[in-house]
Chain A
Amino acid sequence: MAIIVNLDVMLAKRKMRSKELAEAIGITEQNVSLLKSGKVRGVRFETLEKICMALDCQPGDLLEFVPDAE
């Protein structure tokens, strides 16, 4: 997948645990875990907005595009 999710980096920077983030944004801890590992098909804008508000960051801090190596 060319989109890398850097949620774990932001959580470490903000010293927040996955469980706290899950509670703050209203999704399950399992979904947060799936999101961290990039094993999701996509993220709703609503969820992205809540994460950015909870972690005080920009979407670009969470998502990174790395072209697939040929």
Chain B
Amino acid sequence: MSKANLERLQRLSRVLYGFSIALIVILIGAGFYVGWLALNDPAALTGNFPDAVRDPALISMPARIGTIALGWVTLGLTIHAVASLMRMFALFAKGQVFDPAAARWMRRAGLSLFALAIYSMVARTATILLLSLANPPGQRQLAIGIESTQLLSVFVAGVFMLVAHALVLGSEIEQENRGFV
């Protein structure tokens, strides 16, 4: 393995590790802030769905809590993906590129991203339904759709898992090479 390439990889991994920590802190902070905001100002919930709700003030507290909970599941899956990648970056920073543990963390990140992509399709439908419950009868909405970003997320998750499998193969080859002098 080229020493220069390894050092470059380790440097980049340290930067990404720090970035991951910052991102997790920001996501958790944003989650609490948005939750607090949504509980106190229901109009904050309707920003992404302006046509779903006639009067935000009529959104019931259970509907608000349900919507926040749906958002926190999304947040949880995102944080889990970033945390898994953070663990992978930590191993890369130590030079353990072909460590089976690194491959496992990457695979976990891929699974989280995949779950996130599938969940976001369901969550959007559920959120619109919850918010529109405040509308008069006949104006409640059930919106089912798949966005290009969700399809892209599924694709990216698949790529992550594929690369993780490649890393496992690489670790097996490295183990084999270690046995040679």
Contacts and interface: CB of A to CB of B under 8 A. Distances in A.
Interface of A: 27, 31-32, 34-35, 40-44, 47
A57 to B, nearest CB: 17
A contact face: mostly helix, strand, loop, or mixed = mixed
Contacts of A31: 181
Interface centre among B176, B180, B181 (most CB of A within 10 A): B181
A34 B179 CA distance: 10
A53 to B, nearest CB: 16
A41 B181 CA distance: 8
A27 B180 CA distance: 11
Interface string B138-181: 00000000000000000000000000000000000000100111
- 9 shortest A-B CB distances, which residue pairs? A41-B179, A31-B181, A42-B180, A40-B181, A35-B181, A47-B181, A41-B180, A44-B180, A43-B181
Interface of B: 176, 179-181
Given A42-B179, A43-B180, 10 more contacts: A27-B181, A31-B181, A32-B181, A34-B181, A35-B181, A40-B181, A41-B180, A42-B180, A42-B181, A44-B180
A46 to B, nearest CB: 10
A42 B176 CA distance: 9
19 contacts: A27-B181, A31-B181, A32-B181, A34-B181, A35-B181, A40-B179, A40-B180, A40-B181, A41-B176, A41-B179, A41-B180, A42-B179, A42-B180, A42-B181, A43-B180, A43-B181, A44-B180, A44-B181, A47-B181
A44 B180 CA distance: 7
Contacts of A40: 179-181
B181 to A, nearest CB: 4
Nearest to B177: A41
A43 B174 CA distance: 15
Contacts of B176: 41
Contacts of B180: 40-44
B147 to A, nearest CB: 51
A42 B179 CA distance: 7
A36 to B, nearest CB: 11
